[in-house]
Amino acid sequence: MALEATIGLPHKSTLIQYVDDLLLASESEANCRTENLCSISWQRKNIKHHQTSSNISTRDILFDHCIQTFRYSICAQMKSRAESLRGSNGSQELPPELGGELDSSVRDDAPGYSMEPEILRMIFMRVLQSVYGIRVEHFYSMPMTFETAYPQIFEEFLPIGNLFVNMARFLPICRVNDFQFADIVHPKGNRTARFLSGILNFLFFCDSRREIYLEIQSVHKTAMEKEQQLQVAIQNATLKLEKMDIVPADQEVEFKELSQEIQELQHKLNQEYRQKTNVLQEMIHQKRMEIAEKNQNLNDLKMEACYLKQEQEQLKSRITESPEKLTNCRERMKQTQQKIKKDKQEVIEKYESYRDLVEMFPSCQQEVQFYRKKMQTQGANMDKLSNILAQIRTLEDQIENSKSGFKNAKTEEMSLKRIVTVKHEKLAAVEIKLKNIYENAELQKQAITECCNKFQEKRGAVCEKLTATDTEIMQLKGAIQQLSDNVEKEKVKEKEIYLSLRIGLEKYHENLAKTVNSYISSREDKIAQLTGLF
């Protein structure tokens, strides 16, 4: 079925089913039925056009006969269906187009479901000739393993027998397993159509496989040529490598000396490079430690400067606020002091006046006591005022001390900034030196790595070529091994088929010998009887 699908040949059962579906439509769909039947006639005309356009060969003859058998079978069924429709519809006639097509396509003298055996035998012989290369003379030749006293008996039977044997061997390959002797002597249309369709499928399959085989063969030839070229190139490369590896006898001493010197120089360079790198790493580590310590000192100094700035701001705020307060307090204290002095004088005057009066007026003692209390309170106020003045003096001394400390902090800050700038300049100079040393080391590294990379690239290219050649050789070997395995399998199959055919022929010859012996014995008996009678 897969081979039929690849060929595109219409299968008989599908066509018959299609025609049945069209002819069993209802009377209301008569117009649709006629159009579909007309499309069938159009398909048949296309098939005829395909027959005329193709080249004349064994496959074309088979295709023509297959189409004819399909055509006859389909048209016969269409005719029977049309007659049944005519009988069911009474006197109603079919359309003239459909009736004309049916009458012209199906004739009374058409083969219908059968085919002439001679034509079928010729087709089978042509097929065997194209597939196995069997000539026409081979069908009329007696096998060497069969011995008979009367070969004239088998002259007419030999072509049919050889054809049956070869077709029975060939048709199972075409997926036809029920081939019989009667299919050659008395062929039938359905069976011959199935046999011919299977043979056509096999021939188309053989052509497609032959093209693929030729492509594989051409690819194999090109691969073998490439393999030979690669082998020659590998041999030339090995010879060149051997020549490159071999050192002349005159230059062996120089080569050894140069190789030893190169090894010594490489060893020295590696040692110097390692020593320099170690020293540089130690220097860098020390510088980093020093930089970290200096950064810590700077951070501490910055913190101290921040604290001093905060104290300075606080003192500035105090300084800006305290002179006004002091002046106000002093003025107030002076005013109060003057008032107190005035009051004191007034009290003293009053006390003197009252003292004179007290003597005269003892009732004024209470007022005197009252004034005494006022005097005591004023004395307490004077003590408080003296304490406040002392505090003001201490605050002024503290302000002067903080100013002097602030000036000293500024001078220290300036000196520390100068020290930090000097150290930064030294660090920049050291970093520049380290960068120069590092750049020189990197340039040396790059030069060495470039040399190594060039050598590795050359080596990688050679290795890639060798691996590619190895992979191609392995692929070619695998393909050759697969082909050899397939050939061995085919040989084994051919041997098995040959043995089975040989056993069948031996049995056939034994049966023929037995029949001949029985015929001879019966003939001798009849001759003896006839001689006895006469």
- Residue 418, pLDDT > 60, answer yes
**27-79: pLDDT as tens digits:** 333 333 333 333 333 333 343 333 333 334 555 555 555 555 545 554 554 55
Regarding whether 277 and 225 lie in a shared domain, the answer is no
Residue 532 lies in a domain: no
Q: Are residues 134 and 235 in the same domain?
A: yes
* Confidence at residue 387, expressed as pLDDT on a 0 to 100 scale: 73
Inter-residue contact 191 to 198 (CB < 8 Å): no
Q: Quick one: 229 and 256 in the same domain? A: no
Q: CB under 8 Å to 32, separation ≥6 — which residues?
A: 25
Structural domain contains residue 433: yes
More confident residue, 302 or 354: 302
280: nearest Cα among 425, 435, 427: 435
Q: Which pLDDT belongs to residue 150?
A: 65
CA distance 475 to 472: 5
pLDDT for residue 219 is more than 80? yes
Whichever domain contains 126, its CATH number is 1.10.418.60
Average pLDDT over all residues of the chain: 72
**Same structural domain, 292 and 275:** yes
pLDDT of res. 171: 92
Q: Is residue 293 located within the same domain as residue 202?
A: no
Q: How confident is the model at residue 408 (pLDDT cuts 50, 70, 90)?
A: confident
Considering the domain architecture, whether residues 218 and 273 belong to the same structural domain is answered as: no
Asked if residue 231 belongs to a domain, the reply is yes
Domain termination site, one of 478, 495, 524: 478
Interval 275-296 mean pLDDT: 83
- Within its chain, how far is the Cα of 418 from the centroid? 66
Lowest-pLDDT choice from 200-214, 313-327, 422-436: 313-327
State the pLDDT at residue 356.
63
For residues 225 and 293, state if they share a domain.
Answer: no
Q: Measured between alpha carbons, how far is 52 from 64 in angstroms, rounded to an integer?
A: 10
Site of tokens 């050192």: 247
Q: What is the pTM of this model?
A: 0.31
Query: Do residues 356 and 445 share a domain?
Result: yes
- Count structural domains, the chain: 2
Which pLDDT band, with edges at 50, 70 and 90, does 306 fall under? confident
Which residues, in sequence order, are CB contacts of 120 under 8 Å at separation 6+? 184, 187, 192
φ, ψ of residue 345 in degrees (nearest 5):
-60, -45
Q: Are residues 70 and 129 in the same domain?
A: yes
* 51, part of any domain: no
Say if residue 247's pLDDT is above 70: no
DSSP code for 213: H
**Stronger pLDDT, 204 or 356, i.e. the higher one:** 204
d(CA 115, CA 62): 13
Contacts of 69 (CB under 8 A, 6+ apart): 12, 113, 115, 189, 192, 193, 196
- Domain residues for 277? 252-311+344-478
Structure tokens at 288: 């980093």
- Residue 493 CB neighbour total at 10 angstroms: 10
Q: Is there a single domain that holds both residue 293 and residue 156?
A: no
**Do 407 and 425 lie in a common domain?**
yes
Residue 99 lies in a domain: no
Handedness of CA 186, 189, 191, 193 (dihedral sign): positive
Residue 265 covered by a domain: yes
Task: Give mean pLDDT, residues 345-374.
Answer: 63
Average pLDDT on 365-372 reads: 63
| Domain match, 233 and 293 both | no
Candidate from 218-232, 402-416, 432-446, 482-496 with smallest mean pLDDT: 402-416
Asked whether residue 100 carries a pLDDT value surpassing 70, the answer given is: no
d(C-alpha 3, C-alpha 208), whole Å? 11
- The reply to whether 511 falls in a domain is no
- Whether the pLDDT of residue 318 is over 80: the answer is no
Would the pLDDT of 238 be above 70? Answer: yes
Is 98 domain-assigned? Answer: no
pLDDT of residue 316: 65
Q: Which candidate, 405, 466, 79, places its Cα nearest to that of 241?
A: 466
pLDDT band at 319 (very low <50, low <70, confident <90, very high): low
Secondary structure string (H, E, C) spanning 279-302: HHHHHHHHHHHHHHHHHHHHHHHH
What pLDDT is recorded for position 27?
Answer: 34
